[in-house]
Amino acid sequence: MLADLPKAHKLVWPHEDDPKERLLLDPIPQDEMNSRMLKPMLKASPGYWLTVAILATVVAVCLFGYWFYMVRWGMGIAGIRRPVGWGMFIATFVFWIGISHSGTFVSAILRVFNVEYRRPITRASELMTTFSLACAGLFPFIHLGRAWTVYFMIPMPNQRQLWTNFQSPLAWDLIAITTYLIGSTLYVYLPMIPDLAMTRDRMTGWRRTIYKFLSLGWRGLEYEWHYLHVAIKIFAFAIIPVMFSVHTIVSWDFAMSTQVGWHSSIFGPYFVTGAIFSGVSAVISVLLVVRKTMGLGYFLRQEHFDALAKLVLVFSLAWTYFFFNDYLVEWYGGEWVGHQLLTLQARGPVAPLWYAMLFFNIAVPVLTLWNKRVRRSPIALFLITIGINIGMYLERYIIIPGFLQRNRLPFDWGAYNPQPVELSIAIGTLAFFSLLYLLASKVVPLIPVWEVLEGQLSHTRRRIGKTVVTSVAELE
Amino acid sequence: MPKKMVLMGLFTDVMPTAEALDGLRLLGVREEDMNIMTGVPHSAKMLGRPKLAEFPWISVLGALTGLLIGLALTFGTQWLYPIRVGGRPFTAIPTSLVIIYECTMLGLLVSTFLSFLWKCAFPSTRPQYYDPSINNGRIALLCNFDMRLEPQIRQVMAQHGAERVFEPQRRPL
């Protein structure tokens, strides 16, 4: 009996959900939905072009200009020198590979598990995967210094009759990233075809010609939908292990060496968790900007950010677990060099970055994201997710040039100071990513309209007892 | 040989479309001669239609091709330029598995995409029967039949609430 409960208990009436708050329960005519998606694609404000111009200039100067400058004057102008052979270039490379896990995780994993809130956010996050891989793919070339020597990695008969060393983690990395780039590009393109056809039907002139070419002649016939579903299903299942393999192999670039702090069997899952953590956070940041600037409030609602923020919280805890595991084992092991490494983090020159990393990656998300109001506040969420990506960048920086400052030969210890060319190229790739995304937002329908419509078709409300609840039908 | 013709009926909902399909079946129109065109996927179950059942052989073949390429890259190149190092295996299986796995997955993904293009006959530039109103929520029922049945076919479609029944023209998309 409720009357038997202690007085401290308060009774409240259960809150009735407003179905209009949920995209899949708030249908509008298909025609109007298409228009809402296409309108921001067709309109470009002066502010848009100004941003494009600024970003293009930053890319030209900071990325390609400085890269050319480094090729001209040699790697000596970068801060990498004994014992720190891998610096900011590799840290930024790992960062972009991490961001690339956004699309695959949000799209493929949520698709495989039939998570319905994924529908409007898949395309925008899949595009992030492709563009961040494009940014990451530049770094092996940049880091090589003499970029043209990359052909040594390509398996082809050559004058010396030597082949690529396929037993090397670096060769694994090249092949894994190539697989992931090709796979994720096809994976973003496949579900886009019906939306490109819809766009084709509403365009005229040169735009129509482009969409006609891109939509391949799609008509929405039964067998076309069938084969598309089969292909998407195979892709969704196949791209997940590829995603896991890519960041695991990136971690093996470090873990396969005998460097203290790197040679760890937990590096694979630790890196993958960190990648998903930063990737999902980046998806939130980008979606918030897209919603604000493109007026896509109908498609991207609080429910989506709330759900993604919960994922971020889960991955923050998972990352904390791996971080602590990695830290504790090193600390407990008692190896002298390992302790020097931990001291470097806690009290050495890397300390401010290390504490900032812990603050952004653990303290902030864990203390804030449990709160529904924070999860539903765009400004708070934007700041938290940007903070997480700063924290994750710092993590890569600490692990790569940070750890390399200490090794088993104390006479070979050293410091690393990133030079303007390294900072500039890192900023340049951030501008490159933003520029690619900005340009794509005017070409590609960022919301998969057909997937939203399909979701709305399967969602209904039904009465059970005194309440009306949401019911989801299995259409397949 | 009786002459054939094509009619297209535009419907606003799934149920009337499915009923029109039933009506056409009763007139003797074969399943293969009817097709549905939509802007949103409607499953075979929803339309009361038989489902395409195929095992993705091309994807499997693609994966096997990738596997063979992976084997060639790892073990094959070792044999092409043998470097024997004392105490080390000539061909190491664990390290080779990574490349073999990546090549297999790449083969699977690329062949799945190519098989989709092949099965849908994409890219297609020829003029086709099409109506852009399917992207405004309409469901188009395309029917290819013996010309003599035209009045009955029109009647069945109209009876089940077709908004418009007409003889479509092949047009560039």
Q: What residues of A are in contact with residue B39 (Cβ under 8 Å)? A: 30, 194, 198, 220, 450, 453
* B92-145: pLDDT as tens digits: 899 999 999 999 999 999 999 999 999 999 998 889 999 999 988 899 999 998
Q: What residues of B are in contact with residue A201 (Cβ under 8 Å)? A: 132, 135
What's residue A17's pLDDT?
74
* A122-137: pLDDT as tens digits: 999 999 999 999 999 9
Shortest Cα–Cα distance, B120 to chain A (Å): 6
* A413-432: pLDDT as tens digits: 999 999 999 999 999 999 99
Residue A404 has pLDDT above 70, yes or no: yes
Q: Does the beta-carbon distance from B124 to A212 stay under 8 Å?
A: no
Shortest Cα–Cα distance, A187 to chain B (Å): 9
Q: What residues of A are in contact with residue B129 (Cβ under 8 Å)? A: 219
Which residue, among A225, A249, A256, would best test binding to B if mutated, counting the most B CBs under 10 Å from its CB?
Answer: A225
Tokens of A199: 């766009």
Domains defined along chain B, listed by start: 4-39+137-171 (3.30.70.120), 55-119 (no CATH)
Provide the 8-state DSSP code for A106.
I
Tokens of B115: 């098989």
Q: Does the beta-carbon distance from A235 to B112 stay under 8 Å?
A: yes
What's residue A43's pLDDT?
87
Q: What residues of B are in contact with residue A450 (Cβ under 8 Å)? A: 39-41
Residues within 8 A of B (CB atoms), A 33-52 only: 34
The answer to whether B46 and B18 are in contact (CB under 8 A) is yes
Q: What residues of B are in contact with residue A200 (Cβ under 8 Å)? A: 173
Q: Does the beta-carbon distance from A186 to B37 stay under 8 Å?
A: no
Q: Does the beta-carbon distance from B39 to A242 stay under 8 Å?
A: no
Q: Give the strand pairing for B139-146 and B34-37.
A: antiparallel
Which residue, among B8, B54, B120, B170, would best test binding to A if mutated, counting the most A CBs under 10 Å from its CB?
Answer: B120
Q: Does the beta-carbon distance from B134 to A220 stay under 8 Å?
A: yes
Rounded CA-CA distance A124/A132 in Å is: 12
* B131-173: pLDDT as tens digits: 999 988 899 999 998 889 899 999 999 999 899 999 998 888 8
Residues within 8 A of B (CB atoms), A 137-176 only: 155, 161-164, 166-167, 171-172, 175-176
Shortest Cα–Cα distance, B134 to chain A (Å): 8
Q: Which residue has the tokens 């693609």?
A: B62
Q: What percent of chain A has pLDDT over 70?
A: 97
Residues within 8 A of A (CB atoms), B 136-165 only: 136-137
Angle at B137 between CA A210 and CA B135, to 5 degrees: 5
Q: Does the beta-carbon distance from B105 to A162 stay under 8 Å?
A: no
Residue A194 has pLDDT above 90, yes or no: yes
Phi/psi at B39 (5° precision) = -90, -15
Contact B59/A at CB under 8 A: yes
Mean pLDDT (chain A, rounded):
91
Closest partner residue to A231 among B44, B92, B116, by Cβ? B116
Q: Classify residue A361: in a domain, yes or no.
A: yes
Q: Classify residue A59: in a domain, yes or no.
A: no
Rounded CA-CA distance A457/A438 in Å is: 31
**Helix H or strand E encompassing A420:** helix A420-440
Residue A1 has pLDDT above 60, yes or no: no
Q: Name residue B7's beta-bridge partners.
A: B143
**Which of A86-90, A297-301, A442-446, A470-474 comes out lowest in average pLDDT?**
A470-474
Q: What percent of chain A has pLDDT over 90?
A: 73
Q: How many CB atoms lie within 10 A of CB A125?
A: 27
Domain of residue A463: give its range: 6-44+79-418+442-475
Shortest Cα–Cα distance, B74 to chain A (Å): 6
Write b or e for each residue in A303-328: b if 16 or more Cβ atoms lie within 10 A of its Cβ, otherwise e.
ebbbbbbebbbebbebbbebbeebee
The answer to whether B7 and B35 are in contact (CB under 8 A) is no
Q: Does the beta-carbon distance from A235 to B74 stay under 8 Å?
A: no
Closest partner residue to B77 among A155, A216, A226, by Cβ? A155
Residues 6+ apart with CB under 8 A from B39: A30, A194, A198, A220, A450, A453, B134, B135, B136, B137, B138
Residues A242-269 have a mean pLDDT of 92
**Tally of domains in chain A:** 1
What is the DSSP code string of A336-363? Answer: HHHHHHHHHHHHSTTHHHHHHHHIIIII
pTM of the model: 0.92
Rounded CA-CA distance A166/A179 in Å is: 15
| Closest of B163, B104, B98 to residue A183, by C-alpha | B104
Q: Classify residue A446: in a domain, yes or no.
A: yes
Q: Classify residue A347: in a domain, yes or no.
A: yes
Q: What residues of B are in contact with residue A183 (Cβ under 8 Å)? A: 105-106, 109
Which residue, among B65, B81, B136, would best test binding to A if mutated, counting the most A CBs under 10 Å from its CB?
Answer: B136
**pLDDT band at residue A8 under the 50/70/90 scheme:** low
Q: Classify residue A206: in a domain, yes or no.
A: yes
Q: Does the beta-carbon distance from A234 to B39 stay under 8 Å?
A: no
The answer to whether A451 and A122 are in contact (CB under 8 A) is yes
For B111, half-sphere exposure in the C-beta direction (CA atoms, 13 angstrom radius) is 19
Contact B55/A at CB under 8 A: no
Residue B29 has pLDDT above 70, yes or no: yes
Q: Does the beta-carbon distance from B102 to A171 stay under 8 Å?
A: no
Q: Does the beta-carbon distance from B113 to A450 stay under 8 Å?
A: no
Rounded CA-CA distance A110/A122 in Å is: 9
Q: Classify residue A111: in a domain, yes or no.
A: yes
Shortest Cα–Cα distance, A221 to chain B (Å): 4
Residues A222-236 have a mean pLDDT of 94
Q: Name residue B31's beta-bridge partners.
A: none
What's residue A475's pLDDT?
75
CATH number of the domain bearing residue A230: 1.20.1630.10
ipTM over 0.90: yes
| Closest of A430, A377, A476 to residue B42, by C-alpha | A476
What's residue A275's pLDDT?
94
Contact B52/A at CB under 8 A: yes
Highest mean pLDDT among A50-59, A80-89, B75-84: A50-59
Q: Classify residue A53: in a domain, yes or no.
A: no
Q: Classify residue A222: in a domain, yes or no.
A: yes
What's residue A99's pLDDT?
93
The answer to whether B4 and B145 are in contact (CB under 8 A) is yes
